[in-house]
Structure 1
């Protein structure tokens, strides 16, 4: 007789081990090294993505000049979204490398590629210098960045999940979103410093390049952190036959669907908070740039600081419960938070921002802990990366564009809430079905 996940397991999955249950025992110091290296590597990825979003109002007329500033901004945000479209391709490629030849090789290449692409934006010519070549180069660099990023965060979540011991998976899983959101915070602080030190004219002509160039030393730090990883491939059974993508699609379609649906909830809510709101406060509500950037950095760091605690809470009360708290919280507080932001008081706007971002500390820790557990060793990197990237394409990279478009079309400054509510509902449905699927797996592994 079988129950829970055993009953739902697809053909060919007999003997599959949950993440972290492959039998090799790591010392606490080794686990911390894996978690730290995995998390810090994601920092450069999201530093770049956040930075591009934060400077979008500045570079829009530089690369897409025109008489309509909203149209220029939408063009820049469309390039932002385009870089996400290629992420699944990167996830497929680096998932194949990671599942077939080893996690380490894939993660070393992704962090270098992301960092080089990020730095390249800081040296691109503008439309005034290179004409139509300028936006073409911007698109090419963003596409390259998206390809490398496609293999990064899913791979980091995979290696951390495989290293974490039973009963402590969420607290170590928290290192992945701490890295991603740390990248957002550092990007916001970097542009905040530059915008505070330089005059508006200097910032708009050349000062915006400085934070992109800072990405190079950050890349070096992330690279050496990855080099110090213990043998992360020793404890997993790498696939030796077939293409991991085909195996994942054929044998684990339910897991891919559930992980993608959960990711839609995570990404839709997170990108509204971490990328769109700073644009919204400056472009729609006309708050001054520099204070907004600093508020964004502070609020994001506050959410990051909460993640070790929400990770421990998830290990104690259950990862599904913590994910539900995050999704429900986003759905409940986002609309009143938008109302607070529209009062005209920067302090109240910051309070509304905090109310939204607190939920990220719950939801992202839970999602990065749950998703790798849906897949066995031989397709875990591919499955996690593919689901994460597809959900980012659907609801993450498009979030700033869709939210800006909604405001423009409806003239309702609260209309982005409906996008958040829809994605949260999808995430809650995923959690409900995923809980049934993984019930026996979690029970057998001694985790919730």
Structure 2
């Protein structure tokens, strides 16, 4: 079993309540805006698909658009490696500023792209390029936010304040759904396809500026400051040291990221596509439902963080993973047969609350698996590799499963499969809650 050790003479860093609150707020707000940027595309897939991938077969058009959504995840590990190196060598603050600025610019430019009708194949090509560039920047965001918050927080409060990272990323989806819902409610179907779809993307630009102002004022973490003073930074490329000294920790992060993303993106992205394209509910109603359900689920996350501090990370994770094994198929079966958005919303909420039982303990756990000199790189690498395998691919796989089998409940087997991967990843892992971060 892989273990982590503390330096015998290492002094515990001093944590001020003010610094902890600022770290949690800046990390959470930045991640919120980052994931708003990244998820707007998912909610607008139904509108974007025929504009950039015109096809007589609507399913083929949708699969092409979802493949581009997934493409943004392919370069995330490269972004994680680059920004992880930058964060482990130069401090946590610099990459957190760079990632949110880069993501905001890339997503904002999506709103200015020409469509296939006016630019031909250049339009989808530019779409892919911007998604890849945005994915590169996003690769350094959530691992950096989790690292920054963990290193600015006392051990016994790491789960609670660490919940601001998944709160921000998930609430970003809720804000995206709300904005898309407002635009689609105010615009006619024709204007939505003509120009209104651009507005949620263009909003990314001012949001990025706001987050830039908040993060530019941050100071570095007490852990990193102590590390620099003691000369404890990585002496070789952090990626090489991560792979040489912490391969099992990387595999654990990958497995848990597969579980959290593989279950989460079904609820965050696929459900809205399923309700609109397959069950034919009005798009604006579905966007509002998604916004409400995701926002309510987010409100439970700080409580889940407290539970992970009290019970431990493993118990909370196991609760969520077993919960998905039990409810995945019934939730999709109810959605397919209810014919009522209120009933669908109730089971949808159950599904999304369970995802908090995975995300909330997972992020502080990730930071607790790596020593400070390689923490940013280790978390970013493992999380992004897991996200490639089961994050951006989840809505594509779910749509493909339904298209191939004709069974609207078939995505439940994907959810069950990734939950099993998560449970396997916890085998042999000792509890890490309420301990000092490894040095």
Asked whether 1:307 is paired with 2:328, we answer: no
Cα gap change, 1:339 to 1:250, in 2 (>3 Å):
same
Aligned length: 431
- The answer to whether residue 17 in structure 2 is matched with residue 23 in structure 1 is no
- Please give the residue correspondences for 1:2-401 in structure 2 after superposition, counting only pairs within 5 Å: 8-9=2-3, 15=6, 23-232=12-221, 233-237=224-228, 239-343=233-337, 344-401=339-396
- Per the TM alignment, residue 331 of structure 1 is displaced from its structure 2 partner at its CA by 2.0
Deviation digits for residues 91-124 of structure 1 (CA, Å, limit 9, x no counterpart): 0000000011111111111110000001010000
What is the root-mean-square deviation of aligned Cα atoms in Å?
1.7
Q: Structure 1 length normalisation: TM-score? A: 0.93
**Unaligned stretches of 5+ residues in structure 1:** none
CA drift at 1:44? 2.1
CA distance in 1, matches of 2:273, 2:137: 26
Contact 1:64–1:127 (8 Å) recurs in 2 = yes
Distance in 2 of aligned mates of 1:442 and 1:367:
11
CA contact (8 A) 1:43 1:181 kept: yes
Distance of 2:369 and 2:409 partners within structure 1: 36
Cα distance in 2 for partners of 1:383, 1:327 equals 23
C-alpha distance in 2 between matches for 1:190 and 1:117: 18
TM-score by length of 2: 0.95
User: What per-residue deviation string (whole Å, max 9, x for no partner) do you get for residues 111-157 of structure 1?
Assistant: 10000001010000000111110000000000000000000000100
Distance 2:331 2:434 in 1: 38
* Contact map agreement 1:258 1:433 (CA 8 A) in 2: no
Shift of 1:443: 7.1
Q: Is the 8 A contact 1:117 1:142 kept in 2?
A: yes
Mapped partners of 1:443, 1:396: distance in 2: 29
Q: C-alpha deviations, 1:235-262, integer Å up to 9, x for none?
A: 4455242100000001110110111111
SS at match of 2:155: coil
Contact kept, 8 Å, 2:155 with 2:435, in 1: the verdict is: no
Of 312-321 and 187-196, deviating more is: 312-321
Contact 2:156–2:435 (Cα < 8 Å) also in 1: no
1:410 aligns with 2:401: no
Question: Which residue is 2:428 aligned to?
Answer: 433
CA distance in 2, matches of 1:444, 1:214: 41
The 8 Å contact of residues 55 and 61 in structure 2, kept in 1 or not, is answered as yes
The offset of 1:365, in angstroms, is 0.5
